[in-house]
Chains A and B, each alone.
Chain A
Amino acid sequence: MDAILLQILNGLDKGSAYALIALGLTLIFGTLGVVNFAHGALFMLGAFCAVSLQKLVAVSKITIDPSQVDFLGNPLKVKTPYVIEWFGPKIGNAIIDWNVPLAIIIAIPVMLLIGYVMERGLIKHFYKRPHADQILVTFGLAIVIQELVKANFGANPIPTPAPDQFVGSFNVGALIGLDASYPYWRLIYFAFSALIISSVFAFLRFTTFGMVVRAGMADRETVGLLGINIDRRFTIMFGIAAAVAGLAGVMYTPINSPNYHMGMDFLVLSFVVVVVGGMGSLPGAVSAGFLLGILESFASMNEVKGFFEMLYLPSIDQIIIYLVAIIVLLTRPRGLMGKAGVMEE
C-alpha cells in the first residue's frame, strides 16, 4: 500500500508537468488552430526566468575588508549581494533563499510579453497556412530560442534549489495511516499545478472574457461578426498559455536542474498527451496528462517489472506512454475526449 501511494504521488507529480504543458498547447490549438512546437521552449524559458533571477539576486558588491587577509596576505575581498546590502541580512537572505517562488512574479509578465510578441510577430501570419508549415516554423523558433539560451547560460544544467524550508520530505502517508514520505517540493508542485489548472478553467468558465473566448473557440467567425475583436482576445489567450508553460517551468526547476534542451524533452511527450486527450479538448489534455503520468510511474515499480519478467516479457516502463497512446488511438479514434473532424484531414 505504501508503495502504491508513493507511485500515485509520483505519477501525479510527473502528470502535473505534462498536464500544464498539454493545457497550454490545447489552449493555443483550440483558440488559434495553430500547432505550436515552440511550447516546450516556452516551458524552458520559464525555467530560465528562475535561473536569471537566481543570478540576479546573487549579484554582489565587492568591498575590501582591511581587517582580514587572505592566504596571500592581501586584504580580503568581501562579497555582499546587493539585496543584502539594501534590505538587510534578514530580508536579503530570505530573497536569495526564496528566489524560485519569487521568480513566479517575474515570470508571469515576462512570459505574457513573450507570448504576445510571438503571436503578433510570427504566429499571426500562419493562421491560414497548412499545419505542416506551422509545425516547421515553430520548430525552427524552438531551435532558435534553445540555442540562444545555450549561448547565454551554457549547456550544463544549472542547479536552482528550492527554499531551505521545503528541502526535506513530508510523511504524506501518516495522514491516512500509512508510511510514505515524499519530498515537500514535489507536493507543492502538484498543488501549484492543480491551482493553475483550476484557475485557467475558472477563468474560461466564469468570466466574460472567458465566455467570449469559449464562444470564439466554437465559432470564431460569428463572434467576429457580432462586433467582438476576437483576434485580440485570442492573442491574450496565447500569452496566457505561454505564461502557464512558463510557470510550469519556474516551479519545475528545483525538481530537475534546468538545461537548454529540457523543453524538447517534454514537448514530444506533451504532444502525445494532447493527442491521447483529444485535440482541442482542455479537460482531455489535463486528464490524459495525469493518467499517463500515473501509468508511467506504476510501470516503473519493481513489482510490475517483476510481473513482466515472470511472463518473459520485457519491462515496459520505457515505452508505457507510447503503448497507451497507441491503444487509446486505436480504440478511441479521436483520443479520450476529442471532437470529430479536428486535425484529421
Chain B
Amino acid sequence: MNTISKADMKTLFFVAIIALLAPFILNPFPTDSGLAQFNAGYPDLMQRFAIYGILAIGFNILFGLTGYLSFGHAAFLGVGSYSAVWMFKLLSMNIIPALILSVIVAGLFSLLIGFISLRRSGIYFSILTLAFAQMSFALAYSVLTPLTNGETGLQITLNDPRILAAENVSGNLPVTTLFGLEMRDTWAMQVGAWDFQFNIGYYICAIFLLLAFYLSIRIFRSPFGMMLRAVKTNQNRLNYTGINTRPYTLAAFVISGMYAGLAGGLMASMDPLAGAERMQWTASGEIVLMTILGGTGTLLGPVMGAGFIKYFENIFSKINDTVLHGWFSWMPDGLENIIVWVLHLFTGKGWHLTLGIMFMLIVIFLPGGLMEGMSRIGNWWKRRKGDDDAESKSTTTAAE
C-alpha cells in the first residue's frame, strides 16, 4: 500500500488546485460592485478556511472512521494555540518551533484524555470528552491564569525573552514569520476591477492543509484505517476475534488531537494570541457540525463543511440593514421596508438563524451531508445523460 490510487490522486490534485487558486476563485465579483461583499478572498477568511479544514479533517479521522463522537476537540485546539503563543514568547517568532510544540503538546494532552475517555463508548464517551474539555476551559479561564492569562487571553508583549530572536529595536510588536517571511505579508494584484490578494500566511496554511489531507487519505486507505472502520461497524466482533481495539482507537484519537493542535498552532501563528473561549463546548460543537454537515467519513466532506460554515458566518453576518436597503432601493418604499424587515431577521446579527435553518434542512433532507448532495446531483446528471443517450440510440434504431 505504498502508492496512492488514481482517484485519490485526482482528489488531492483537485484540492491542491482549489487551494492554490483560492484567491481567484473566492473573489468572483469586482471590488466596487454591489456583490463584492460575497467575496471571501481576503487573507483572514482564507486562512480560517484552511485552518478549520485541518481541524475538521482531523476530527473526521476519529469520528468518521471509528464512530467515536468526541465533544471536546476544542480543548486540543486551545492547547495548541497556547503552546504556540508560549513559543513565540520564549523562543522566537518563527512559526516552525511553535507548530512543532503545539502538535506535541496537543498529542500528549489527547493521549491523556483519550486513554481515560476511551474506556467508555457511545454517549458516555462523548460526555467524558465534553467534561474534560469544559474542565480545561474552566481551568484556563480561572485557575491557570499564570499560564493562560485568564480571560484576557495570552498575548505576546515587547519584553518577552525570545532568546533566539534578534534584539527588537523597532519598538513595535514583532510579527510571526517563517524564516523571515512575514505571515501577514500580502501581495495584491489588480486586474481590471478585481483585486486579488495573495497572502503568505494563507499559503502556509494551505500547504499544511494539503499535507493534512494527504495524510488523511493515506490513513483512510491503510490497514490501520480499515481497522478503525471495523471498530465503527462492529466492535464486539473484533473483541471476540481476540483483537484489542483500544490501541487503534487511542491512536486515532491522538492523531486527530494532533491535527487539532496543528490547527490551534496555525491559528496562533496567523494572529499570535490565544484565549480560553477557543476551548469552550460551543467551539467543540462547531467542529462536530462542520464534519457532519460536510459528510462524515468522506475525505472531502469535512473540508467543505468547514468552508461552508466559515463562509456563511463571515458573509451573512456582514449584511446589515443599510446593505439590504441598498439592494432593494429600486422597490416601492413600503415593499422595500417589508422585505428588509423580513430579511433583517436572517442576516447581520441574526445570521445564526440562517445557520440553524440551513442545518435543519441539510440534516433532514441530506443525511450524508453536502457530499451526499453532490453525489446525488452527480447521479441525477449521469442518469439524465444516460437517458438521453438511450433515447437517441432508440431513435436511431427506429430510424434505421
Contacts and interface: CB of A to CB of B under 8 A. Distances in A.
A202 B130 CA distance: 34
Interface string A316-343: 0011011101100110011100000001
Nearest to B144: A314
Contact of A333 (B69, B120, B353): B120
A319 B122 contact: no
B292 interface: yes
A147 interface: yes
A323 B127 CA distance: 11
A136 B119 CA distance: 25
Given A137-B364, A147-B352, A318 B139 contact: yes
Contacts of B373: none
A35 interface: yes
A143 interface: yes
Interface stretch (A188-196, A224-232, A241-249, A268-276): A268-276
Interface stretch (A56-64, A127-135, A171-179, A215-223): A127-135
A151 interface: yes
A70 interface: no
Chain A interface mostly helix, strand, loop or mixed?
A: helix
A322 B124 contact: no
Nearest to A141: B360
Contacts, number: 117
A275 B124 contact: yes
B353 A144 contact: yes
B204 interface: no
A345 interface: yes
A330 B119 contact: yes
A164 interface: no
A343 B363 contact: no
Interface string B267-300: 0000000000000011001001100100010000
Interface string A295-319: 0000000000000000000110011
A40 to B, nearest CB: 12
Contacts of B132: 322, 326
A323 B345 CA distance: 40
Contacts of A326: 116, 128, 131-132
Q: What size tier do the contact residues of chain B reach?
A: 35 or more
A137 B360 contact: yes
B180 interface: no
Interface string B118-162: 011111100110111011001101111000000000000000000
Nearest to A144: B356
Given A330-B116, A344-B121, A140 B367 contact: no
B355 interface: yes
Interface in A258-284: 264, 268, 271-272, 275, 279
Nearest to A134: B363
A148 interface: yes
B290 to A, nearest CB: 11
A271 B71 CA distance: 12
Contacts of B363: 133, 136-137, 140
Most buried by B among A122, A137, A322: A322
B159 to A, nearest CB: 27
A147 B350 contact: yes
A139 interface: yes
B359 interface: yes
B323 interface: no
A125 interface: yes
Most buried by A among B292, B353, B357: B353
Contacts of A268: 130, 134, 281
A249 B360 CA distance: 25
A319 B123 CA distance: 20
B273 to A, nearest CB: 22
Contacts of B131: 272, 321-323, 325-326
Contacts of A133: 363, 367
Given A147-B353, A333-B120, A318 B142 contact: yes
B135 A319 contact: yes
Nearest to A148: B353
Contacts of A151: 345, 350, 353
Nearest to B232: A345
Contacts of B281: 268
A319 B367 CA distance: 35
Given A129-B367, A147-B352, A314-B143, A140 B359 contact: yes
Nearest to B296: A132
B124 A319 contact: no
B224 to A, nearest CB: 22
A344 to B, nearest CB: 4
A125 B360 CA distance: 12
Contacts of B356: 140-144, 146-147
A142 B355 CA distance: 11
A318 B91 CA distance: 33
Nearest to A125: B364
A128 B134 CA distance: 31
B360 A144 contact: yes
A279 B364 CA distance: 25
A140 B116 CA distance: 30
Contact of A139 (B127, B130, B141, B285): B285
Interface string B341-368: 0000100001011011111100110010
A125 to B, nearest CB: 7
Contacts of A139: 285, 289, 359
Contact of A143 (B124, B128, B353): B353
A271 B345 contact: no
Contact of B127 (A275, A333, A344): A275
A217 B296 CA distance: 31
A345 B353 CA distance: 32
A136 B285 CA distance: 10
Contacts of A271: 127, 130
Nearest to A142: B356
Contacts of B289: 136, 139
A275 B128 CA distance: 10
16 contacts: A122-B364, A131-B123, A132-B69, A132-B296, A137-B363, A137-B364, A143-B356, A144-B360, A146-B352, A147-B350, A264-B282, A272-B130, A322-B130, A322-B134, A329-B127, A334-B124
Given A275-B127, A321-B131, A322-B131, 8 more contacts: A136-B292, A136-B363, A140-B359, A147-B352, A314-B139, A314-B144, A318-B138, A330-B119
The 4 closest A-B CB pairs, nearest first, are A143-B356, A140-B359, A314-B143, A322-B131
